[in-house]
Amino acid sequence: MTVLTNALRELAGLFVDDGALALVIIAVVVLAGMVATLMPDASLAAGAILLFGCLAALLASVARAARR
């Protein structure tokens, strides 16, 4: 059981290191999804939110780690 738990934890660790970064990325995707759904003719706006949202999330995460 411990082996399985450890394996699952290591698998989750492949995708989540800084929990806050992962949460912000998901939030950015949800926001972009809402814009894409509500304004299908302006899908590029959703794309811009996705790209620049992810870049902002990355910068914020790096800045937070650098300050520690």
The DSSP output letter for 39 is -
Q: Tell which one of 4, 5, 22, 27 touches other proteins (CB under 8 A).
A: 22
> Per rule CB under 8 A, is residue 54 in the interface with other proteins?
yes
Q: What are phi and psi of 48, to 5 degrees?
A: -65, -40
Rounded to whole angstroms, the Cα distance separating 61 from 21 reads 6
> Per rule CB under 8 A, is residue 61 in the interface with other proteins?
yes
Residues in the chain: 68
- Residue 1 or residue 36: which is nearer to other proteins going by CB? 36
Q: Where are the alpha helices (DSSP H) in the chain?
A: 2-13, 19-38, 43-67
Rounded to whole angstroms, the Cα distance separating 3 from 43 reads 45
Q: Tell which one of 1, 2, 5, 14 touches other proteins (CB under 8 A).
A: 14
Q: Which residues bind to other proteins, rule: CB under 8 A?
A: 7, 10-11, 14-18, 21-22, 25-26, 29, 32-33, 36, 40, 43-44, 46-47, 50-51, 54-55, 57-59, 61-63, 65-66
